[in-house]
Amino acid sequence: MHNCPYCSRPLLRHIQHHEICWFCSHCWATVPVLSEVLTQPDLIGHFETN
């Protein structure tokens, strides 16, 4: 089970803008799927330099 990084409650799998992400129904936060973020080279470079 995946938990919200903000409130630690269970996340719901959600589709938004043709992409899969996680959604917290308690704090209404959308959380990207970490494995997809790490496979995008432009985002990896951003996190390495900042």
C-alpha 43/C-alpha 35 separation (Å) is: 12
Is 90 exceeded by the pLDDT of residue 9? yes
Q: Look up residue 11 and give its DSSP letter.
A: P
Q: pLDDT tens, 13-31?
A: 988 888 888 999 999 988 8
Higher pLDDT, 7 or 19: 7
Round the average pLDDT of the chain to a whole number and report it.
74
Query: By C-alpha distance, which of 30, 29, 48, 28 is closest to 38?
Result: 48
Reported pTM: 0.58
